[in-house]
Structure 1
Amino acid sequence: MQIGLVLSTTPSYSETFFRSKIKGLREQGMDVRLYCQSKKDDFNHCPVILSPKVSRNPLLQSWYFLKEFVLLLPHLPAIIRYINLERTEGTEFLQLLKKIYLNAHLLKANLDWLHFGFATMALGSETVAKAIGAKMAVSFRGFDIAVYPVKYPGCYTILWEYVDKIHTISNDLLVLAKKHGLPDGIPIEKITPAIDVNLFKPNSKIVNAEELVFVTTGRLHWKKGFVQTIEVLAILKAQGLKFTYKIIGEGPEYERIAFAAYQLGLKNEILFLGKLPHHQVKKELESTSIYIQYSIQEGFCNAVLEAQAMGKLCIVSNAEGLSENVLHEKTGWVVPKNNPQALAETIKKVLGLRSDERNTITQIAQKRVREEFNIEKQQKEFLDFYN
Structure 2
Amino acid sequence: MQKKPLNKLKIGLVLNLVPGYSETFFRNKIKGLQSQGFEVLLFVKRVDVTIDFPCKVIVAPEFGLSLLKAVSNGVATIFKILFLTPKRSLRLYRFDKIDNIPLKRRLKNLILNQFFLSYNLDWLHFGFGILAYRHENVAKAIGAKMAVSFRGYDLYLSPLKHIGCYDLLFKKDVKYHVLSKGMKQTLIDYCVPANSIHVITPAINTGFFKLQNSSVYKEDTVINILTIARLHWKKGLEYTLEALKILKQKGISFKYTIIGDGDQYERLIFATHQLGLSEHVNFIGKLSPTEVRQQLELSAIYLQYSIQEGFCNAVLEAQSMGLLCIVSNAEGLDENILDNITGWVVPKRKSELLAEKIIEVIQLKPIEKQRIILKASERVNQDFNLKIQNKAFNDFYRNLS
Q: By how many angstroms is 1:89 displaced?
A: 1.6
* Structure 1 position 330 matched with structure 2 position 338: no
Match of 1:65 in 2: 74
Match of 1:312 in 2: 323
Query: In the TM superposition, what whole-angstrom CA distance separates every residue of 1:27-60 from its partner, at most 9, and x where no partner exists?
Result: 1111110000123422320011111212253454
Match of 2:310 in 1: 299
Match of 2:121 in 1: 111
> Which is worse superposed, 100-109 or 53-62?
53-62
| In 1, Cα distance between equivalents of 2:362 and 2:220 | 10
Q: By how many angstroms is 1:150 displaced?
A: 2.0
**Counterpart contact for 1:10–1:43, Cα < 8 Å:** no
| In 2, Cα distance between equivalents of 1:254 and 1:58 | 35
Match of 2:373 in 1: 362
Match of 1:97 in 2: 107
Tell me which of 245, 259, 273 is aligned to 1:248. 259
Fraction of identical pairs, as percent: 45
> Which is worse superposed, 1-10 or 143-152?
143-152
**Counterpart contact for 2:152–2:309, Cα < 8 Å:** yes
Matched ranges for 1:184-199 at <5 A: 184=193, 187-199=196-208
Match of 1:51 in 2: 60
Tell me which of 204, 224, 227 is aligned to 1:216. 227
Match of 1:144 in 2: 154
Tell me which of 152, 160, 167 is aligned to 1:157. 167
* Structure 1 position 133 matched with structure 2 position 134: no
| In 1, Cα distance between equivalents of 2:219 and 2:355 | 22
| In 2, Cα distance between equivalents of 1:138 and 1:268 | 44
Q: By how many angstroms is 1:220 displaced?
A: 0.5
- Give the TM-score taking structure 2 as reference length: 0.93
| In 1, Cα distance between equivalents of 2:70 and 2:195 | 39
**Counterpart contact for 2:315–2:325, Cα < 8 Å:** yes
* Structure 1 position 279 matched with structure 2 position 290: yes
Match of 1:34 in 2: 42
Q: Any stretches of 5+ residues in structure 2 without a counterpart?
A: 1-8
| In 2, Cα distance between equivalents of 1:197 and 1:317 | 23
**Counterpart contact for 1:164–1:186, Cα < 8 Å:** no
Query: In the TM superposition, what whole-angstrom CA distance separates every residue of 1:254-280 from its partner, at most 9, and x where no partner exists?
Result: 001111000000011000111111111
**Counterpart contact for 1:166–1:186, Cα < 8 Å:** no
Q: By how many angstroms is 1:361 displaced?
A: 0.6
Q: By how many angstroms is 1:14 displaced?
A: 1.8
> Which is worse superposed, 350-359 or 84-93?
84-93
Tell me which of 251, 272, 279 is aligned to 1:268. 279
Match of 1:233 in 2: 244
**Counterpart contact for 2:62–2:69, Cα < 8 Å:** no
Amino acid at match of 1:199: F
Amino acid at match of 1:18: F
1:205 alignment partner, SS class: helix
* Structure 1 position 5 matched with structure 2 position 13: yes
Q: By how many angstroms is 1:138 displaced?
A: 0.3
| In 1, Cα distance between equivalents of 2:233 and 2:147 | 29
**Counterpart contact for 1:138–1:163, Cα < 8 Å:** no
Match of 1:202 in 2: 211
* Structure 1 position 178 matched with structure 2 position 188: yes
**Counterpart contact for 1:3–1:111, Cα < 8 Å:** yes
> Which is worse superposed, 118-127 or 34-43?
34-43
Q: By how many angstroms is 1:101 displaced?
A: 1.1
Match of 2:6 in 1: none
1:165 alignment partner, SS class: strand
Tell me which of 360, 372, 395 is aligned to 1:384. 395
> Which is worse superposed, 144-153 or 353-362?
144-153
Structure 1 residues 261 and 311: CA distance shift in structure 2, 3 A: same
Query: In the TM superposition, what whole-angstrom CA distance separates every residue of 1:225-244 from its partner, at most 9, and x where no partner exists?
Result: 11110011011111211111
**Counterpart contact for 1:11–1:43, Cα < 8 Å:** no
**What is the RMSD computed on CA atoms of the aligned residues?**
1.4
| In 2, Cα distance between equivalents of 1:370 and 1:289 | 19
| In 2, Cα distance between equivalents of 1:208 and 1:339 | 27
| In 1, Cα distance between equivalents of 2:340 and 2:97 | 54
**Counterpart contact for 1:247–1:272, Cα < 8 Å:** yes
Q: By how many angstroms is 1:348 displaced?
A: 1.1
> Which is worse superposed, 198-207 or 369-378?
198-207
Amino acid at match of 1:344: A
Amino acid at match of 2:142: I
Match of 1:16 in 2: 24
| In 2, Cα distance between equivalents of 1:270 and 1:56 | 41
| In 2, Cα distance between equivalents of 1:61 and 1:13 | 31
Match of 1:88 in 2: 98
Q: By how many angstroms is 1:120 displaced?
A: 0.4
